[in-house]
Amino acid sequence: MLDAAIGAASPALCVPPHLPPPPVGRTLVVGAGKAAASMASAVEAHWPADKPLEGLVVTRYGHAHPCARIEVVEASHPVPDAAGQDAARRILSLVQGLTPDDLILCLISGGGSALLSAPAGGITLAEKRAINQALLRSGAAIGEMNCVRKHLSAIKGGRLAAAAAPTPMLALMISDVPGDDPSVIASGPTVGDPTTREQALDILTRYRIAVPDSVAAHLADPACESPKPGAASLAHVHNLVVATPRASLEAAAAVALAAGYAPIILGDDIEGEARDVAADHARLARARLAEGAPCVLLSGGETTVTVRGRGRGGRNAEFLLALAVALDGQPGVSALAADTDGIDGTEDNAGAIITPDTLARAAAAGIDARAMLDQNNAYEAFAALGDLVMTGPTLTNVNDFRAVLIEGVPQ
């Protein structure tokens, strides 16, 4: 099921059907995200050899893919670095000075917000990094983090598209966000921003994130506001989502059905604390188990983890350890959770698996699962059990994939 979910979002599958005919003039490819390099490769593979094609995309370290005509740069994610800042500035420069006879193809996928880092005037990269790290540890939802990022950026929140006007721009997007809102994917560099600087300030205040004077002054200035939906500076842009979490869940559902399990898609936009989502999934699993029919609960979205301990582990591992604790050895229920990009948070695993004997095996190995959960140390727990899921970078990203398999064994 995981393989099918990842395969449904493969750029080689979802990008080519949406490529336009070559323009009279030049074609410039720019982009950012964990799938940016593989999307660029898909463009190259289907672009006429006799038509001009050039550009620059930035992806996460380890997520590059060979390209012949489009330059690929690697940078840091989820915390921005100088390589991402330099790539963002170069992209801003490249999209300017073209003509209405040219075309800009913008390839956007999850992770682009951190990878395409161009701090607004007066703000340093170090200051933006510190705020980004604080947001990641705060438990803020992805939409809240992106609201702040947009208002501290010279390229996000529609600013990339505004810089390219009036050259025609087609933005192809692989969605990793609940609801597939183009303005949220990679913080919407080609999309009008419905959020405001006042909301950004409120988010920073609500999560008690201290900001330097430069950031406070920037957000207090009305001139920092981003282009809004319907702005004339964005009239030349067409945004198109070409792969979604829902389509990946449906691909997984087809695999489950063929194997004799009734697929139940809970939603592709589930958010909230990973532990709370795990508790909800455990209750649903027990209810379905009592019905006696084999089935699988499928869900996507992006949970959050409020870090309180000093352990290792992404949100999928945290979800699974919390699920194992909530199920407490329940027979007939197993689960897998993984990030479809192949990296759970900042670790080297995509996710992990649990089985009915997970807690018993942990206890036998001297692992206190509840204590590990309290320390946000799910990675170490699953590594010790040999239950990490390791895919390596998948070169796509449609957010998290969760499957709770119910064998139909009655309580």
**Residue 200 near residue 219 (C-beta atoms within 8 A):** yes
What residue ranges of the chain are covered by domains with CATH 3.40.1480.10? Answer: 246-406
In angstroms, the Cα distances linking 214 to 120, 124, 201, 221, 224 are 10, 9, 13, 11, 12
pLDDT in tens, 70-81: 999 999 998 889
* Cα–Cα–Cα angle for 131, 125, 172, rounded to 5 degrees: 85
CB atoms within 10 A of CB 147: 26
Structure tokens at 128: 């933006």
The stretch 163-180 carries a mean pLDDT of 95
Nearest to 358 by CA among 322, 389, 312: 322
Helix (H, G, I), strand (E, B) or coil at 27: strand
**Residue 410 near residue 343 (C-beta atoms within 8 A):** no
pLDDT in tens, 348-392: 999 999 999 999 999 999 999 999 999 999 999 999 999 999 999
Terminal-to-terminal C-alpha distance of the chain: 26
Predicted confidence (pLDDT) at residue 55 exceeds the cutoff of 50: yes
Predicted confidence (pLDDT) at residue 410 exceeds the cutoff of 50: no
CATH 3.40.190.10: does it fit domain 246-406?
A: no
pLDDT in tens, 5-48: 999 999 999 999 999 999 999 999 999 999 999 999 999 999 99
Structure tokens at 302: 């992006």
Place of tokens 């197993």: 334
**Residue 245 near residue 301 (C-beta atoms within 8 A):** yes
Region label for 158, one of left (φ > 0), alpha (ψ between -120 and 50) or beta (otherwise): left
Give kind and range of the element (H or E) at residue 264. strand 262-273
pLDDT in tens, 281-338: 999 999 999 999 999 999 999 898 988 888 898 999 999 999 999 999 999 999 999 9
Q: How many residues does the chain have?
A: 411
Structure tokens at 263: 């697929």
Helix (H, G, I), strand (E, B) or coil at 103: strand
d(CA 58, CA 404): 35
In angstroms, the Cα distances linking 72 to 31, 60, 113, 340, 381 are 10, 10, 17, 21, 36
The stretch 56-63 carries a mean pLDDT of 97
What residue ranges of the chain are covered by domains with CATH 3.40.50.10180? Answer: 2-243
d(CA 161, CA 237): 7
pLDDT in tens, 105-116: 999 999 999 999
**Residue 209 near residue 131 (C-beta atoms within 8 A):** yes
- Percentage of residues of the chain with pLDDT beyond 70: 99
Place of tokens 């990008």: 15
For the chain, what is the largest distance between any 2 Cα atoms, rounded to a whole number of angstroms? Answer: 68
Torsion (CA) 205, 314, 304, 135 in degrees, nearest 10: 10
**Mean pLDDT, rounded, of the chain:** 95
Task: State the DSSP code for 326.
Answer: H
Predicted confidence (pLDDT) at residue 90 exceeds the cutoff of 70: yes
- Position 137 scores a pLDDT of 84
- Percentage of residues of the chain with pLDDT beyond 90: 89
Residues 6+ apart with CB under 8 A from 169: 95, 103, 104, 105, 106, 161, 190, 236, 237, 238
pLDDT in tens, 191-232: 999 999 999 999 999 999 999 999 999 999 999 999 999 999
Q: Which pTM was predicted?
A: 0.91
- Lateral strand order in the sheet of 295-304: 262-273, 295-304, 400-406, 333-339, 351-354, 388-389
**Residue 57 near residue 95 (C-beta atoms within 8 A):** no
The stretch 122-136 carries a mean pLDDT of 91
CATH 3.40.50.10180: does it fit domain 2-243?
A: yes
- Lateral strand order in the sheet of 54-60: 70-75, 54-60, 27-32, 103-109, 169-174, 237-243
- Position 132 scores a pLDDT of 86
- Position 79 scores a pLDDT of 84
Predicted confidence (pLDDT) at residue 411 exceeds the cutoff of 80: no
Is residue 409 very low, low, confident or very high in pLDDT (cuts 50, 70, 90)?
low
